[in-house]
Amino acid sequence: MRTRTSCASSCRALERDITTSLYIEEMFATGHDAANREVFAQFSPEDAKVVGIALRADKKLVDKITKGAKLHG
């Protein structure tokens, strides 16, 4: 289940043509990249438990995209 904030951030990134990577809860139970890809493919966007999003862009743009999100620290 995606949170409103992660959905909004993903949508804003897509609108700005910024590539993102999503992290789902189940990925943290695997040990390597191939297993992460397999587990990620098992879930639809509506069913995935999104726990993180990665993106790279100018700081001001990232701030706009992630507005309202809690950042880890």
Q: Looking at residue 12, which CATH number applies to its domain?
A: 3.40.1490.10
Residue 72 in any domain: the answer is: no
Which range marks the domain in which residue 54 is found? 4-65
**Residue from 49, 47, 60 nearest 16 by CA:** 60
For residue 11, give the H/E element and its range. helix 4-15
Residue 22 in any domain: the answer is: yes
**Domain total for the chain?**
1
The verdict on pTM exceeding 0.85 is no
Residue 13 in any domain: the answer is: yes
Joined tokens for residue 1 = 């289940």
Residue 71 in any domain: the answer is: no
pLDDT (tens digit per residue) in 21-31? 888 899 999 98
Residue 73 in any domain: the answer is: no
Could you give the CA distance from residue 40 to residue 55 in angstroms, rounded to a whole number? 18
pLDDT (tens digit per residue) in 26-52? 999 998 999 999 999 998 877 888 888
Joined tokens for residue 30 = 């695997």
- The Cα-based distances of 26 to 6, 59, 60 in angstroms read 17, 29, 31
